[in-house]
Chains A and B, each alone.
Chain A
Amino acid sequence: GAGVSQTPSNKVTEKGKYVELRCDPISGHTALYWYRQSLGQGPEFLIYFQGTGAADDSGLPNDRFFAVRPEGSVSTLKIQRTERGDSAVYLCASSPTAVTGGRGNEQFFGPGTRLTVL
């Protein structure tokens, strides 16, 4: 499959634990985005990478959240000391180049990781 993949598809953890969510973008896409979607809401922007660097991390809710993309391809979203309010579907999207500016580019979304914090 040539689409965006995310693992795991579901993650159940206990309050206070550490979790890592992985995103494998479409090959060759330089831009990668993380979103969080709660029930009945639209996706909420978290962070965006252009290549290896985080071009905009203004959507990260607090310092418990961190994301990396060390080789400009796969990205990992890391959540420390999870809280029940972190429960949501975490979506990753990639696009050939940055969506910001101009007419933008289509974002291709992965199926998401459903995180449940008990």
Chain B
Amino acid sequence: RKEVEQDPGPFNVPEGATVAFNCTYSNSASQSFFWYRQDCRKEPKLLMSVYSSGNEDGRFTAQLNRASQYISLLIRDSKLSDSATYLCVVNGGDKIIFGKGTRLHILP
């Protein structure tokens, strides 16, 4: 099992739809979790940290399931500007691991 694994994508979604990404991790001792967004040929930027209780920021909701070792990102009412690659990041306490990313295309 890969250390951090994401939906392979790409996701092609009409504007206004809801889209969900999943990410699984193998190290049960992992301590912190993040979603980063990366636009084409740009650097990654933090979208949200993921907390055990789940957290929401506007149209974005992140959830963590420690028992099943996965995290999720939900985007509601998607906008054209949401088109990007979404990277799952897991901090295992001794190292930080990025997933390959899932590319999202929002279609007008």
Binding site for B on A (CB under 8 A): 33, 35, 40-45, 48, 56, 58-59, 91, 99-104, 106-107, 109-112
**Size bracket of the B interface:** 20 to 34
Cβ-neighbour of B94 out of A35, A44, A56, A110 (below 8 A): A56
- Nearest chain B residue, comparing its CB with the CB of A6: B43
Binding site for A on B (CB under 8 A): 4, 31-32, 34, 42-46, 49, 51, 87, 91, 93-101
| Interchain Cβ contacts under 8 Å between A and B, 20 examples | A35-B98, A40-B100, A42-B99, A42-B101, A43-B87, A45-B95, A45-B98, A56-B94, A56-B95, A58-B95, A91-B43, A99-B32, A99-B96, A100-B31, A100-B91, A100-B93, A101-B31, A102-B31, A107-B46, A111-B42
Whether the pair B96, A106 counts as a contact (CB closer than 8 A) is: no
In the complex, chain A residues whose CB is within 8 Å of the CB of B43:
91, 109-112
Min CB–CB distance A65 → chain B (angstroms): 16
Cβ-neighbour of A109 out of B45, B51, B100 (below 8 A): B45
Whether the pair B100, A102 counts as a contact (CB closer than 8 A) is: no
- In the bound complex, CA of A44 to CA of B98 (Å): 7
